[in-house]
Structure formats: C-alpha cells, structure tokens
Structure 1
C-alpha cells in the first residue's frame, strides 16, 4: 500500500542550527499526517551548524555544491519522486549556487516542483540581482509548479514569473503540546526576551538604542537576547514595511556601547539557546519583543505567543495579516525607535493588559497555527500540485 503513495522528495535544512527554517522542516518531516499521505524521502542541504557562517563563499561551500547535486541526481534517478519540495533562498548567491539548478534539474526528470519562500524579501532583493542572473532566475521560476509564501500579503513575490493560481499560502506551524502556557512558572519582573540573529536587520542595534530610555522609566526592565551576533547581512537588505534600504550598523560596536554604559546590567546576551534552556526563558519572560525589518512569519514570535506571552512586534510579512495591534500585542514600524518605546511603555505599564493579551495569543495559536492544522493545509497544497 505504501508504494502507492505519491513520492515526495523534501529538500532543505534540519537542526542544528535551531532556527526557523530548520525547525519547520523537521516538523514537516515528522508529521504523522504527511507521512501517512506521502512516501517522503529527504535530502539535507545544510552542512554548517553555525548560523554565523551561513552564506559565506568558501572552499567548503564549493565542495558541498558538488556533493549536494550528486545526491540530488541519485534521488531523481533511483527514487523517482513525483514531487520535490524545496525552500528557496532570497539571495543572489543562493540562486546561482543551488536554487536555479535544483528547480531545473528536477524539471528535467519531469518532477513537480514546489518552492517555499520562508521570508518576505525576495522581491526587493531580486531588483538588485545582476541582469544575467535575473534572466536565469526568471527562467527557472517559470517552470515552478507551485510557490508557497508565508502570508497572503506576500503573494506578489514572484511576479511576473509565477502565475497567481500557482501561489499558495502556508502559515507558520507550532507544536502546541510542547509550547504550552504553564501557569506554575513564575515570570521575572521586567524580563523582555528577544530571540533571533543579533543583527541590524533583526532590529538588534535598534533595541539597544532604546534600552536607556526604557530602563530610566522602568528600572526593573531587563533585555535578554537569545541568538548569535554576526557582522554583515546575508539576506535582508531592505525594510520590508517601507521598502527603504537598511542602513547597516555594526552589532558589536552597538553592544560595546551598552556594555560600557550605566545600563550594562539591563542587558543580557544569552547566546544561542535551545531545548529546555529556551523554554525556560520563554516561560519566565513577561514580554516578547521582535524588531525585525523583514520576516515571512517569525517562528520565535509564534513560540512566545503559544506560551501565552504578550508581544511587541513589527507588522512585517504575515504579522500584519494574522495579528492585530492592541489584541495580540503592540506594533511599531521597523526602525521607528519612538514607536518601539511607546509600544513597550504600554505593555510594561499594565500587568492586567499583559495577561489578557497573553491569553488571547495562546488561544489564537491553538485555534489557527497548530502543526496538525498547518500540515493538513500543506497536504492539500501538495495534492493539488501533483494533480495539476
């Protein structure tokens, strides 16, 4: 019976590192529903376990290029999949090095190709691609059978290359049994948790700038950052809300400034956290904060909401379409420090409001973003694509 299932080759990263794309791929691979419906094989793409080295062109990347495509060729020849599911990159080097050739090689073997944009900045980045690369990328996109985006708002990311009827929306998924609101956990007064790469594009340097003003008004406020600091930007170069180019700032210099100030004790660099350590910090936080300039759908934001935390966040990607200001937290335009401070003041000054927002967030995640719900939607997307 299992041999009659449609065969799907999943291509992508799995942990480590424990970032959104890796964790989401792992969720799909472990989904009971998807495995009951399809015969799934997997080709792992990430050969680095450190996010700071992602996107660097070096000898290991060149070696991995040949290793990856030899494995892909073996899958296509011997496994004979009916479909390929492949999360794409938003960068020019990613399309030159792997994305274009993965799509085209799969199509040579007559396989249906489903790509997934796990972000919101492909369209803006594409405008800056080399003209020849644009033609190459456009040629491959026209051969895609389905393109998944993380919000209805992002349905135009591949215009004019992929027709509207081939675009599907798939929201972020959460294991609501693992990420649950434990009322026995005592929150730390004033604890504000930030999770993600500590870069300008993630709003790290912006948050550091507002720490003095917030902590003068709320002396117990303490900002905990979970992630890794890295110089440069390898994917996000534009403010997805305004379309403006992001003015780069060195995160190490910004951190040094706060560490050499009177507010050094209001700043904690946790480094990369995962497992029980991450859960502990999520559960003991009073507020979750994300200041990202561009997202598809932040996994860490959904994790915090699943645990029943109120949030202060930027209305980028899916956030502007699935979360409401004053209902699920408070929003601010990326890069607008005055708005960020205003949002934090509102949420820090009213404990009853924080609790009410947290309850709303937990209910919203349970109702709309469970892994069972999202896997069912994904099953429908794959089935429809195979039948097209």
Structure 2
C-alpha cells in the first residue's frame, strides 16, 4: 500500500507548547504508513536541528515575518512566500497539508488550495480574536476556514469558541484531539534534593513552580503577587519561574523587587529538563489568563504534582477541581495564594491530589492516544476524499 504523504507547515521553529506537541507527532507517526516532510517559514530556530535529527525532510523558506503595517512591499513579500509554497506543494504532491497556528494556517491553506492539494488541516491552539483584527486579516482567516477540510483543536473550549465567534466554520468541520503526555519521562523517584542543591535551595524549603514562556497572557505578575502573599505566612518557600523570555522578564524582575520578594524568586530561563525540575516542585501553578489545553498542567500531573490553575480555556477539561488540583479565577492573586497555602498546609492532600493527577494523565492523556487519533483522522479524511 502506498504511503500517505503529509506536509506539516510551521510558522516558526522556536520551542513552545504547540511546537512540542508537533515534535511528538512527527516523532511517533508510523513511518510505514506515512511519509512526512516539514515546510517552515523561518530559516533558523531551535527545532531545526531536532527535526533534521529525525531524518525528516525540512524545507526552510527564509521568511521571518512582516514588520509594521500591511503595505505594498509586504503584499509582494507575501505573494512571493505563497508562490514558493505553491511550487513546493506541486513538487511534493502531498495527500494532506497540515498547518499549526494562525499565519501558517492562512498561508498554508491558500498555497495548498492553489496547488491543488485535496486535504488541508488547519490547527487552532488558542483563541483567535478576530474582532480585533483589521478587515484584510479577518478576510484571510475566513478564507482559510472556508477552504480547510478539517480544523483541529486541542480542547472543547476552543472548538466551541470557534463555532460561536468565527465565520465559515460549521460543526462537522471542526474536531478535538487533546494533547498527549508521555508519563514515562517523569520519574517519581528522582532525588529532588539534588535538583534543589543545583539552585541553592535549602532542602527543607517548599518549592512552588510555574512553567511557561514569559508572555503577558501567562499571568506571571499574578503569580508573583500570590507569591508575595504566601511568603508572609510561609517564608521558607521558593518560587521558580521556568520559561523563555518573551519580552517581559525584566519587568517581572523589577516587579518582584518592588514586592520585596526578589530573593525568593528564581528565573531559570528556557530549559530542556522540565521533568527533572518538576521533581523538586511541591506544587505546580498555572496562572494563565487565556489557555487552550495546557501542556504545563499535563506535565505537572504526569510528575505527580498537585496543580493550582486558573479556570480558563481547556483547564477544566484536564483538572478535576478538589480531586487532581484546585481551580481559581483568572487574574485573582488572592484566590491563587489561598489555594497554594491550603496545599502547603496539608501534605496528605498534596500527595493525594498528585496521585490522582498522575492516574488521570496516564488514563486520559497518554501520548499514544493522541497519535492514534491523528493517524485515524488522516486515514478517514483520505478515504472520504
């Protein structure tokens, strides 16, 4: 039987939650059934070497995005980008083109349609606020929705949001495949004191951690405000912020200074040893103001950690309130602090919630389930078309 040829379109080659799920997908798809290649807009990025190490063909277009307003020069740049993609698709002749995130969805869908590709899958991994866009961006988004064969989301919340707030989408065209997590990567027996020692954290101090790139939507300032409240009653606590700087680290450092808690805050920067870092956490916090389906929460659950998370997006689809973690209102640092203190004061509750969380991650979100659903999706679409 001939293999199904799939081209994945990426708008960037940086690390992130969506990109991590993408890497797991291409790493685990059955190569006996699928022939995979990747088309990326930029020429450079941390994922480039990782993709090439998998011996998956990667073509980089050398397009780093538009700066400033939409103008005639930008128009011709986009035309050139789309034409390069059209030529690539006509050469590769994929059965399926699958894109991730907003700009890859738009340009990938347009180019695939022009090139005569029959199946186009676009991805929704967060809220697209179309009402804030200029008319030409809304029009392009509607066009990609119209031309897409299938729109994949990773949470029921995002699916419903798309149906209610975007045009050219009907219920049969949009499906949900939850993110997956490989629980085997999270060693519950790892000696966390060794990790604490590496960060000069005293062995008896509690560690509260947050994992996510430093961007305003992740709510790190609320996390710091909650930390300030917690430290009043639990001074032997350290708060660890893990993630790449998205332009706000200096602000967060100054904010911690203003709160008088800078000595209790550790910024690790971008790390590739998240399972090891999680081993020293007593509690994982997600303070996001908006979310689709949080990889960080899944990682915390896989590591057997109780989670305090904001009740946004798909978080309630992962966390069972009062069983695997505690949900709090977004932007409410006081609620967050109270939830953290409650868990700090009750070691048995932390242990029970962590165990339930890991059991749920194993049962409901194994990586194998996600890959199986993806492969089934590809074969069904090809059969229908």
TM-score range, shorter chain: 0.7 to 0.9
Does residue 362 of structure 2 align to residue 366 of structure 1?
A: yes
Shift of 1:66: 7.5
Paired residues in the alignment total 351
Question: Normalization by structure 1: what TM-score?
Answer: 0.82
- CA–CA distance in structure 1, aligned partners of residues 78 and 153 of structure 2: 26
CA gap 1:220/1:228 in 2 versus in 1, 3 angstroms? same
Where 2:288 maps in the other structure, the secondary structure is coil
Mean Cα displacement is larger for which, 127-136 or 256-265? Answer: 256-265
CA contact (8 A) 1:327 1:357 kept: yes
The match for 1:78 among 71, 88, 91 is 91
CA contact (8 A) 1:14 1:23 kept: no
The 5-angstrom pairing of residues 82-93 of structure 1 reads 82-89=95-102
RMSD, matched Cα: 2.8
Q: Structure 1: which 5+ residue stretches go unaligned?
A: 232-249
Alignment partner, residue 215 of structure 1: 231
Q: Deviations over 1:51-95 (max 9, x none)?
A: 9xx97727xx97996785465334311211111111122xxxx3x
The match for 2:264 among 239, 263, 266 is 266
* Structure with more relative contact order (C-alpha pairs < 8 Å, separation 6 or more): 1
- CA–CA distance in structure 2, aligned partners of residues 164 and 292 of structure 1: 27
- CA–CA distance in structure 2, aligned partners of residues 329 and 163 of structure 1: 34
Does residue 25 of structure 2 align to residue 28 of structure 1?
A: yes
- CA–CA distance in structure 1, aligned partners of residues 45 and 117 of structure 2: 33
Where 1:194 maps in the other structure, the secondary structure is strand
- CA–CA distance in structure 1, aligned partners of residues 183 and 325 of structure 2: 20
CA contact (8 A) 1:47 1:64 kept: no
CA contact (8 A) 2:187 2:275 kept: no
Question: Normalization by structure 2: what TM-score?
Answer: 0.83
- CA–CA distance in structure 2, aligned partners of residues 83 and 223 of structure 1: 44
Q: Deviations over 1:11-70 (max 9, x none)?
A: 22686x33212211111111143x33322222234445389xx97727xx9799678546
Alignment partner, residue 202 of structure 1: 218
Shift of 1:260: 5.1
- CA–CA distance in structure 1, aligned partners of residues 11 and 351 of structure 2: 36
Mean Cα displacement is larger for which, 62-71 or 311-320? Answer: 62-71
CA contact (8 A) 2:154 2:293 kept: yes
- CA–CA distance in structure 2, aligned partners of residues 12 and 136 of structure 1: 17
Q: Structure 2: which 5+ residue stretches go unaligned?
A: 48-63, 197-202
CA gap 1:139/1:359 in 2 versus in 1, 3 angstroms? same
CA gap 1:260/1:374 in 2 versus in 1, 3 angstroms? same
